Amino acid sequence: MNAILDIRNICLQYEGNFILDTISCQVEKGEFFVIIGPNGAGKTSLLKIIAGLEKTDNGSVVCKGKKLVDYNRRELSQVIAMVPQHVDTNFPFTVAETVLMGRTPHLGLLGLESRNDYLLAETAMQFTDIVHLADRRLDQISGGELQRVIIARAICQQPEIVLLDEPTAALDPAHQLKVMDLMEKFRQEQDTTIIMVSHDLNLASLYGDRLLLLKEGRVMKTGTPAEVLSVELLRESYGCEMLVDENPLGKGTRVTPVPSKFLETSKTDDQKV
Amino acid sequence: MKTEYSSVSTKITLVTLLLGMLLLVLGILAISTGSTGSNIAEILDIFIGKGDTDSIGATIVWQIRLPRVIMAATVGGTLALGGLVFQALLRNPLAEPYILGISGGSAIGAILGMLLGLAHFPGVTIFAFGGSIAVLSVVILLASRTMGNVALSKDSLLLGGVMMNAFCAAIIMFLISMVRTFQVQHILFWLMGDLSLIKSSQLPILLIVIPCFIAIFILARPMNLLLLGRETAAAMGINVRAVIMVLLIVTSLMVSVVVSFSGLIGFVGLVIPHIFRLIVGPDHRVLVPACILGGASYLVLCDLLARVLPSSGEMPVGIITALIGAPLFIFLLLRNKR
């Protein structure tokens, strides 16, 4: 097995409740791996544990054959980059300054960037199409642009694994696609591993190689989108009715949540699927 | 690629040179101004050792004015830098160097020292320093214990500091209400900040303050990342706990030291970081030298005004700092709105 990340029996408790209960899974190098599940299922906690930002009560995460706890912060940040859900623009840096911060785990003691660091930041900004924004402040750009800036910062970090926490949550469809296409392109060019937490089951299906479905801190299912996105599993985990069929592109699974007012008529369709 | 980044080291050099020159000019001006009225030419003669080294002019320059200017610069630089660090650490634009209980603690110490009839130096100074460190320790210990696993969270530090300052303020009021009238002015001058008691024998505090400046400059880049949030900083390779702990200790130490000599000079630590953030941007690698030299220049200027403006005697420099600082800041804020 060529797993870049091996998650073994992770448990996380908070005040006696299991946030995560014996989670195990493996992520292959170059894989697009999506963690899905209802609110409070433990998706973000799992992502933070993988990023080394939260400790586990039990179990371990092995990254490139070495336990996460044996990495120091700097070493780990050279391997894993994180695109957080929320970005604070209270003390607004410019776009270029923000992207350049991605070089942090590669800099020396005084933290002065070299010519090469500037070049890498430039490349990352070209890649995410934000060069024209370089001198703008973070509080002067749109949400979609901000997300691309944060992704550029992660790319600039030259990681082997990128973690994304609901990167498309606040974006319009065009920006959702733009962000996802960027990650897909980055993965193909650099053979980077992508691990994403998402509520958007259709994006998960369209881009993910494999999905991990969580419910109340437990793994419901790991597998390809077709395997995980079944009516029964979705009903059991999310607790609502969803229709599952092939998407009109003819490539993959489509999920349609059913509002309660359509529930009676959809029962029959449900049987057909 | 035509986007030209102004390299950080160029910016640092430029800011340091410009503000360094400003400090030098203001320093010379401050040394050559005073009740005995030496002029700049005379002062320069004294500096290069020309003329009578034992003259009254030389004694005034070497023993009174120069130490005072150096002290004003040190205090100004330290307070501005302290404000900068706490604003970053607590991610709160209203933070100032006294916010973690330093003002309350040092004031109680200083007032107790005065009530015991001790001299300004070393007696009152040591009491003030002790009071400051005692209250700081309580705040930091409280913050590292509360709020579960998020040790030293900004909210618990901030709330702890504000509460301790409020508690200390009550004690200060009580002490003032108990003392006799002639001591009150003494205490008030200390609370407003006063540099008139500075002597050359106190200058070795620079040996404590300058290493603190250097330590904070080294941590300037991690401070940039802390502004983005602790988790984001950690995810980019910063050892957040260590950086926060070092910054807390170093900054508290240097502010406590200068405050115990100068009293509670207000406003420098709040407004100078903001002014330079408006001018040079949020990068701490530029802001650290800018605040040290800018804060130093500002307090040298304010102290000069505090000496020459009143027709007789002096007024506490703390009055001038806010009197100029607040309108200046509002002006910059309005102009920056675009």
Query: What pTM was computed for the model?
Result: 0.85
Residue A152: pLDDT over 80: yes
Residue-averaged pLDDT of chain A: 89
Higher pLDDT, A14 or A196: A196
- The region that residue B199 occupies, defined by phi over 0 for left and psi between -120 and 50 for alpha, beta otherwise, is beta
Q: What is the mean pLDDT of residues A238-253?
A: 88
3-state SS string for chain B: CCCCCCCHHHHHHHHHHHHHHHHHHHHHHHHCCCCCCCCHHHHHHHHCCCCCCCCHHHHHHHHHHHHHHHHHHHHHHHHHHHHHHHHHHCCCCCCCCCCCCHHHHHHHHHHHHHHCCCCHHHHHHHHHHHHHHHHHHHHHHHHHHCCCCCCCCHHHHHHHHHHHHHHHHHHHHHHHHHCCHHHHHHHHHHHHCCCCCCCHHHHHHHHHHHHHHHHHHHCHHHHHHHCCCHHHHHHCCCCHHHHHHHHHHHHHHHHHHHHHHHCCCCCHHHHHHHHHHHHHCCCHHHHHHHHHHHHHHHHHHHHHHHHHCCCCCCCCHHHHHHHHHHHHHHHHHHHHHC
- Where is average pLDDT lowest: B2-16, B24-38, B79-93, B108-122? B2-16
Q: Is residue B293 part of a domain?
A: yes
Query: Best residue in A44, A57, A63, A73 to probe B by mutation, most B CBs within 10 Å?
Result: A73
For residues A209 and A213, give the distance between their C-alpha atoms in angstroms, rounded to a whole number: 13
**Which pLDDT score is estimated for B6?**
57
- Where is average pLDDT lowest: A126-130, A176-180, B147-151? B147-151
Question: Residues 237 to 266 of B: which have CB under 8 A from any A CB?
Answer: 237-240
Q: What is the mean pLDDT of residues A248-272?
A: 75
Q: What is the mean pLDDT of residues A248-259?
A: 88
* CB of B224 less than 8 A from some CB of A: yes
- Where is average pLDDT lowest: A225-234, B37-46, B231-240, B328-337? B37-46
Residue B2: pLDDT over 50: no
In this structure, what token pair is assigned to residue B221? 């880049």
Q: How many CB atoms lie within 10 A of CB A216?
A: 16
Chain B residues in contact with A195 (beta carbon < 8 A): none
Which residue in B224, B228, B277 is closest to A88 by CB distance?
B228
Q: Is residue B22 part of a domain?
A: no
CATH number at residue B98: 1.10.3470.10
Query: Closest approach of chain A CAs to the CA of B299, in angstroms?
Result: 26
| % residues pLDDT > 90 (chain B) | 26
For residues A35 and A42, give the distance between their C-alpha atoms in angstroms, rounded to a whole number: 10
**Which pLDDT score is estimated for B30?**
87
Query: Best residue in B232, B239, B274 to probe A by mutation, most A CBs within 10 Å?
Result: B232
**Which pLDDT score is estimated for B4?**
45
**Which pLDDT score is estimated for A198?**
93
Greatest mean pLDDT among A23-27, B48-52, B317-321 lies in A23-27
What would the DSSP string read from start to end of chain A?
Answer: --EEEEEEEEEEEETTEEEEEEEEEEEETT-EEEEE-STTSSHHHHHHHHTTSS--SEEEEEETTEEGGGS-HHHHHHHEEEE-S----SSPPBHHHHHHGGGGGG--TT----HHHHHHHHHHHHHTT-GGGTTSBGGGS-HHHHHHHHHHHHHHT--SEEEEESTTTT--HHHHHHHHHHHHHHHHHH--EEEEE-S-HHHHHHH-SEEEEEETTEEEEEE-HHHH--HHHHHHHH-S-EEEEE-TTSSSEEEEE--GGGHHHHHHHHHH-
CA atoms within 13 A on the CB side of A230: 11
CA proximity to B5, closest of A121, A102, A145? A121
- Report how many domains make up chain B: 1
- Where is average pLDDT lowest: A190-199, B1-10, B212-221, B256-265? B1-10
**Which pLDDT score is estimated for B36?**
64
- Which strand ranges, in their side-by-side order, compose the sheet holding A3-14? A17-28, A3-14, A58-63, A66-67
With 0-12 / 13-18 / 19 or more C-beta atoms within 10 angstroms meaning exposed / middle / buried, residue A188 is: exposed
Higher pLDDT, A1 or B45: B45
**Which pLDDT score is estimated for B54?**
67
For residues A241 and A268, give the distance between their C-alpha atoms in angstroms, rounded to a whole number: 13
Q: Is residue B71 part of a domain?
A: yes
Q: Is residue B15 part of a domain?
A: no
Residue-averaged pLDDT of chain B: 84
Question: Per the CB < 8 Å rule, is A91 touching B282?
Answer: yes
- Note the pLDDT tens digit of each residue in A47-94: 999 999 888 888 889 999 889 989 998 999 999 999 988 888 877 889
Residue A174: pLDDT over 60: yes
Angle at B314 between CA B311 and CA B318, to 5 degrees: 125
**Which pLDDT score is estimated for A252?**
85
Interface predicted TM-score (ipTM): 0.84
For residues B155 and B162, give the distance between their C-alpha atoms in angstroms, rounded to a whole number: 10
**Which pLDDT score is estimated for B264?**
86
Q: What is the mean pLDDT of residues B208-215?
A: 93
Q: How confident is the model at residue B338 (pLDDT cuts 50, 70, 90)?
A: very low
Q: For residue B140, what are the domain limits?
A: 38-307+315-337
Strand A210-215 versus strand A218-223 pairing type: antiparallel
**Which pLDDT score is estimated for B299?**
94
Which residues have CB under 8 Å from B264's CB, separation 6+? B98, B103, B106, B107, B190, B191, B192, B193, B318
Which residue in B7, B91, B236 is closest to A77 by CB distance?
B236
Q: Is residue B16 part of a domain?
A: no
For residues B336 and B280, give the distance between their C-alpha atoms in angstroms, rounded to a whole number: 12
- Where is average pLDDT lowest: A128-137, B6-15, B82-91? B6-15
- Note the pLDDT tens digit of each residue in A85-139: 888 887 788 999 999 999 988 887 667 788 888 999 999 999 999 999 998 998 8
Q: Is residue B277 part of a domain?
A: yes
Q: Is residue B239 part of a domain?
A: yes
- Which strand ranges, in their side-by-side order, compose the sheet holding A218-223? A80-83, A161-165, A193-197, A32-36, A210-215, A218-223
Q: What is the mean pLDDT of residues A203-222?
A: 92
Residue A157: pLDDT over 90: yes
Q: What is the mean pLDDT of residues B15-25?
A: 94
Residue B287: pLDDT over 90: yes
* CB of B324 less than 8 A from some CB of A: no
Q: How confident is the model at residue B38 (pLDDT cuts 50, 70, 90)?
A: low
**Which pLDDT score is estimated for A15?**
81
Q: Is residue B13 part of a domain?
A: no
- Where is average pLDDT lowest: A174-178, B37-41, B84-88? B37-41
Query: Closest approach of chain B CAs to the CA of A126, in angstroms?
Result: 10
Residue B85: pLDDT over 90: yes
At A151, the amino acid letter reads I
Q: Is the omega angle on the peptide bond into residue B282 within 30 degrees of 0, that is, cis? A: no
Question: Per the CB < 8 Å rule, is B1 touching A102?
Answer: no
